Amino acid sequence: MQEPYEKADLDEAVETLRRGGIILYPTDTVWGIGCDATNEEAVRRIYDLKRREDSKSMLVLVSDTLQVERLVREVPEVAFDLMDLSVRPITIIYSGASGVAPSLLGEGSSLGIRRTEELFSSALCKRLRRPIVSTSANISGEPTPLFFSGISPEIVSGVDYVVRYRREDETPREPSQIIKLGPTGEVEVLRP
């Protein structure tokens, strides 16, 4: 099957991530700033670029549930149902996570993880074989740009690679739902 993005675009994004760089890329919600989620130095660069407080954690994207299971000690059974049945992107905050840069973990080793089904970001996760940081492409406190055209020049020039795929796309996209799961599967809706 022919992919809608250029292979060279994906190759360059993956190589940038492998070298410890940060990228600007389309996701299943809005455009995101990303890096290899296991690379603490790259994660710090994103915090600096966004002028974001360390206490505000960032989520990671994965391509499948196996990647979730590698990151979370015990994935509550309800998480699989939530991922499979959700009609829009869903970020699930798990406790007991590991295997990522320490600055991505919140209280109780919590980590927000979203399984992406968007073609480019999913392919990126598969090729890198690691989770990828995904945080909105804006300076902290400023509005989240809904399309590539709304991203500030400071963000665009502050990354190592800007993906070409979907730059012209202005299809409205919703932010993800955010659900926090307790260790025994209690569900708390943080953003419906």
What is the pTM for the complete model shown?
Answer: 0.94
Torsions phi, psi for 85 (to 5 deg): -100, -15
Return the CATH fold of 7-191: DHBP synthase (3.90.870)
pLDDT tens digits, one per residue of 138-176: 999 999 999 999 999 999 999 999 999 999 999 988 889
pLDDT tens digits, one per residue of 97-122: 999 999 999 988 999 999 999 999 99
The predicted pLDDT at position 82 comes to 93
The predicted pLDDT at position 2 comes to 65
Mean pLDDT, rounded, for 72-86: 93
Reported as a pLDDT band with limits 50, 70 and 90, residue 56 is confident
Pairing of strands 23-25, 32-34: antiparallel
Percentage of residues in the chain having pLDDT higher than 70: 98
Print the SS3 string covering the chain: CCCCCCHHHHHHHHHHHHCCCCEEECCCCCCEEECECCCHHHHHHHHHHHCCCCCCCCEEEECCHHHHHHHECCCCHHHHHHHHHCCCCEEEEECCECCCCHHHCEHHHEEEEEECCCHHHHHHHHHHCCCEEEEECCCCCCCCCCCHHHCCHHHHHHCCEECCCCCCCCCCCCCCEEEEECCCCCEEEEEC
Whether 35 has a pLDDT exceeding 90, the answer reads yes
Whether 14 has a pLDDT exceeding 70, the answer reads yes
The predicted pLDDT at position 69 comes to 95
The predicted pLDDT at position 137 comes to 95
Whether 1 has a pLDDT exceeding 70, the answer reads no
Percentage of residues in the chain having pLDDT higher than 90: 86
